Amino acid sequence: MTVLRRLWETIVKHAVDCLQSLGVPHRSRIWWCPTSKMTLLPLHAAGPYKDAEPNLQDLFISSYTSTLSALIKARKSGSDASPLTTSPKTVRPKLLIIAQPRVPNQAEIDGVRKEVQKIQLAVPSTNILMDEGGTYAHVIAGLGAHNWVHFATHGTQNTRNPFHSCFHIHDRDLTLLDIVNARLPNAEFAFLSVCHGATGDENNPDETIHLAAGLQFCGFRSVIGTRYAMADVDGPIVAEEVYKHMFRKVGKGEEEANSQVPVDYRDAAEALNIATRVLKNSGAPIERWINFIHIGA
């Protein structure tokens, strides 16, 4: 809490004052582009944390970007877009869920099956690769056929060789290099419900390519990740609230699922803001709900 208050007083409050003086509307989106050691700090969670005083989370919707060019590219649409990304609003995004509650040499993740169930309740149509169905071959093929992906598994960051950072799946590791080589021009949104999905490197903070940043490098325009280890119980809560908001205009029946109601991957940041507020209001300690961050468009 002390760190969040100091961030507010020394950095974030001044940015908020400037935004408000410019007339930027309440709950507008803002992007943080920190460098050096600042990349390791939870700017999105700064605030006075006093009764009756709003924190940053209450005032604006925060996202991160590694560079301005990466953000511009992530938000770009139009004539150069692919058939599945003709505009930021995709009529029927194809959501692939890669769910691996149990993989070799890793502890079982208790909340994965419940997380999948919660997502299915919020999203009209999903394809699921779970347990032995989540082989390397199936995952690579699935990534090529879907523009949205949800990972619910273990992840490992390799700070020495970032492109060897990986997701642990059924029969082998899926590295960032594998995803780069898969060439995914239709990629839009990725939710990394994995531990350390967006963890920086204290020794080389400007050079770190964590899993979330790596997926953005691979073409995903909007990515949700975690800064450190996440509690198993948080995955189902946050995932449910995120997808409920992103698919809030889409019905659950077959007729509605085939409707032309657009879904926008750029809603992910607002959806995460709502989801973490739900987690906060449930009584979860602060280190759990500030763990989740949004990167990109």
pLDDT score of 255: 47
Q: Are 263 and 91 in contact (CB under 8 A)?
A: yes
pLDDT score of 205: 52
pLDDT score of 140: 96
pLDDT in tens, 127-184: 999 999 999 999 999 999 999 999 999 988 887 888 888 999 989 999 999 998 998 9
Lowest mean pLDDT among 61-65, 112-116, 212-216: 212-216
Mean pLDDT of the chain: 87
The pTM score is 0.89
pLDDT score of 37: 83
Instruction: Please give, one letter per residue, the 3-state secondary structure of the chain.
Output: CHHHHHHHHHHHHHHHHHHHHCCCCCCCEEEECCCHHHHHCCHHHCCCCCCCCCCHHHHCEEEECCCHHHHHHHHCCCCCCCHHHCCCEECCCCEEEEECCCCCCCCCCCCHHHHHHHHHHHCCCEEEEEHHHCCHHHHHHHHHHCCEEEEECEEECCCCCHHHCEEECCCCEEEHHHHHHHCCCCCCEEEECCCCCCCCCCCCCCCCCCHHHHHHHCCCCEEEEECCCCCCCHHHHHHHHHHHHHCCCCCCCHHHHCCCCCEEHHHHHHHHHHHHHHHHHCCCCHHHHCCEEEEEC
Q: Is the pLDDT of residue 55 over 60?
A: yes
- Pick the most confident of 92-101, 255-264, 266-275: 266-275
Q: Is the pLDDT of residue 260 over 70?
A: no
pLDDT score of 114: 96
pLDDT in tens, 68-117: 888 888 887 543 444 444 455 666 788 999 999 988 778 888 899 999 99
Q: Is the pLDDT of residue 254 over 80?
A: no
